[in-house]
Structure 1
């Protein structure tokens, strides 16, 4: 698997987790559940998923434009 493929696979995992956490948070909001243990759990999950995504993007260990198989 190329570096680009590795990046895409990991990015897909992280985005899917962030999307699931955000969706769960929005569900709780629509149910007016803005406090309590479930809110705390989902808020923490969403926050950590966002932080993992941002950390991954800021690593710059993924290929840049024009790179196919080389990591930086």
Structure 2
């Protein structure tokens, strides 16, 4: 992260995806569709969004992430 603006822009992008993934899972729960391929896709999407958000928050300024950081 080189600037606050870059941090803000990337945060916004990642949080939009996390919100969309969470909303999709909530819709499936409301529809009582908590198994099957749609559920599997939704949980994978949510997992990936959470992982991306955590990886972003754990980046250190000026340090390239190593293989275990992502």
Report the TM-score when normalising by structure 2: 0.83
Q: How many residues were matched structurally?
A: 62
Report the TM-score when normalising by structure 1: 0.80
Instruction: Could you tell me which runs of 5 or more consecutive residues in structure 1 were left unpaired when the two chains were aligned.
Output: 62-70
Structure having the higher Rg: 1
What do you get for the CA RMSD once the two structures are aligned? Answer: 1.4
Instruction: Could you tell me which runs of 5 or more consecutive residues in structure 2 were left unpaired when the two chains were aligned.
Output: 64-70
Q: Compare relative contact order (CA 8 Å, sep 6+) and give the higher one, 1 or 2.
A: 1
